[in-house]
A and B are shown apart, each in its own frame.
Chain A
Amino acid sequence: MRMGRVSVLIALIVVQVPVTVLSLCLLLATFALGLVFLFQPQVRLVRGLAEDTRRMVGEWTGSEIASPYLPEPPPPRPGADGMYRSARTLYRSPRVPAWNDRWKWLITDPATWRDDLWLLLDPLVKVGLLPVLLTVPARGLRLYGLWCELLLSATRASRLASQVTHLNRVRDLAAGSQAAELRRIERDLHDGTQARLVAIGMTLGAADELLDSDPAAARALLGKAREASSDTLTELRRVIRGIHPPVLAERGLADAVRALAMDSALPVSVAVDLAHRPDPPVEAAVYFAVSELLANAARHGGADTATIDIRGAGPDLRVTVADDGLGGADPAKGSGLRGIERRLAAFDGVMAISSPAGGPTNVTLDLRRVLPEHWTLPRLPRWKAALVGFLYLTAWCPLFPQGLVPAVFKVFGVEEKAWFLALYLPPPWQWPVIAFMVTLGVTMYVLALVLPVGHTREPGGTENRPCDGR
């Protein structure tokens, strides 16, 4: 197999040499003759070859070579007057500005020139490595991999650049979804609550006017106002649930999801294994995601039961919502699933959906590094905590001054006795006492370490009682 790979590498030279010659011609035409439109095809050609090599070598060596290219520029956006701007010129159509952007993008990207350099030298390197490749193919391939990594792998700058693009996108998504949320809340409050309060105020005013002339009618109006205020509260409760459900605020994710399961039309079993409460924004995102998925299962899925599983693994949070419905869930179709993706994007979370036609549906939300990693003291009964504290505070005494130090003194024959108990005893007793002291100290340390084990995940922290929320 290795020899096969080596022959592929050698055979590629046959492709590389003409590509190199063509590239040189194109570059010459671009920069010497000003045929600038030939530059893009040249870059594309070289990048194609480089990408294939990256993939191939990555597969062979097992260490992936990431693409180093800067992210493509976004399509130009028209200004307020509908014109497209590029440097100091305005254009009617986006074509020229887009071309300019791409030109700048390709020509300023160091990866473009590194690719060219690699293309020029690669056949030479291969020829130079030929003896090694033929005699010790494994080592030869590894050396070739190193060479490719040298010129083809991502640079720090390109990594940072792609990270910035990613973060920009996430920020836009988060800001966009937040703005949409606020607009929705504003609309709810404006059309619902506010309008109702106005009506109540008017009813009360009317009642006030009628109070003397027609007490019976006034009383009827007051009753109406009371009813209306009750309706307003119901409405407001709905709005609040949409903003931040009270159970979530009061109890945290685990109980909020249990409450959700109880209110669902489906029998839902819930398992939560979280050592600590996640941060509030994460809790809210997960809650609304689970709520949406559960609603989907009940609405379209035709499911009989559903299960929710929320568990933390170190700093990672994984949520699984499964149902035995008809399946066929697709983010491209449902705006709800899109909404979940948008919400999760703010935490770099991803959603994986497995929903073949005919079911079952299985949705997994993965949020990496969102859980706070607490370094917590284990929860111990008071006497045990006191004992552990005492052990830590005193164990040094037998181990070091009464154990190891007199041992060293004895070994080196130091006359000093200081306050080392063992050295005041008759010689035959000295070593046994020293050994006893060392053992005692070590035992105390071991006890102090061992006692808290088994208390590290006490109730209150761990929650893993399945709840049949029906």
Chain B
Amino acid sequence: MNRVLIAEDLYLLRDGLVHLLQAHGFTVVAAVESGPELLKGLIELRPDVSVVDVRLPPTFTDEGLQAALAARAQVPGLPVLVLSQHVEQLYARELLADGSGGIGYLLKDRVFNAGQFVDAVRRVAEGGTAMDPEVIAKLLASNAREEPLAALTPREREVLGAMAEGRSNAAISQRLHLSESAVAKHTASIFAKLGLAPSDDDNRRVLAVLAYLNSR
């Protein structure tokens, strides 16, 4: 589970990512710098996970995102972690639209915290999700006026946010300084209020939440 492909056009950042991931036990199978190369690499090499910059040559628009979406259309669930200088609900919704896991969407700044970033790459490689807190905040904000979400307590909304970012119960309890059983209680209550079927599988649970937010 550690063959990784990197797509980033800035040499310094690409090199930094390669070193960072190699230092954490990943094998970099390819480090590409343009959209067409990326799509070819994704389809042919089938990396366990890829780290992709949204804006790539030749058009310097959303080349990376389009390549990732195209590859996932061909190979459903192909794990891709998308990095960007800015996060947009629009892009997040497009990435989440197919409802399969193995997707990540983070601000480039998150690379600063190596531990958390590598954690996110691993999570995506294992079929989980890693959504940027900023995106989740936006998704939650645009749903805030809706009935079931408005009924959540502030604590539950915090838990929901952390869960939507793709974190496991253990990680949530650590971040919010709660016991794991308290987190489990909160999640059960959230699922009941949102009318979602409860699940023990972390990934499936996160996908349910994201699908819920995305459907609005």
Contact = CB atoms under 8 A, between A and B. Distances in A.
A259 B142 CA distance: 12
Interface stretch (B73-81, B86-94, B179-187): B86-94
A230 B109 contact: yes
Contacts of A264: 142
Contacts, number: 55
B86 A226 contact: no
Contact of A237 (B86, B90, B145, B216): B86
A250 B55 contact: yes
Contact of A262 (B90, B107, B146): B90
Nearest to A229: B112
A354 B62 CA distance: 38
B61 A250 contact: yes
B186 to A, nearest CB: 25
B107 to A, nearest CB: 8
Contacts of A230: 109, 112
A373 interface: no
Contacts of A241: 86
Interface string A457-468: 000000000001
Contacts of B85: 233, 237, 240, 246
Contacts of A250: 54-55, 61-62
B19 interface: no
B142 A263 contact: yes
A262 B86 contact: no
Interface in A306-352: none
Given A226-B112, A229-B112, A259-B89, A249 B142 contact: no
B151 interface: no
- Give chain A's interface secondary structure class: helix
Interface string A250-284: 11000100110011110100000000000000000
Contact of B216 (A249, A259, A265, A470): A470
A251 B62 contact: yes
Chain A's interface size range is 20 to 34
B161 to A, nearest CB: 17
A263 B62 contact: no
Nearest to B146: A470
A247 B90 contact: yes
A325 to B, nearest CB: 15
B86 A263 contact: no
A50 B216 CA distance: 63
A249 B54 CA distance: 12
Interface of A: 226, 229-230, 233-234, 237, 240-241, 246-247, 249-251, 255, 258-259, 262-265, 267, 468-470
Interface of B: 54-55, 61-62, 85-86, 88-90, 93, 107-109, 112-113, 138, 141-143, 145-146, 216
26 contacts: A229-B109, A229-B112, A230-B109, A230-B112, A233-B85, A233-B109, A234-B109, A240-B85, A240-B86, A246-B86, A247-B86, A247-B88, A251-B61, A251-B62, A255-B90, A259-B88, A259-B90, A262-B93, A262-B142, A263-B142, A264-B142, A265-B141, A470-B142, A470-B143, A470-B146, A470-B216
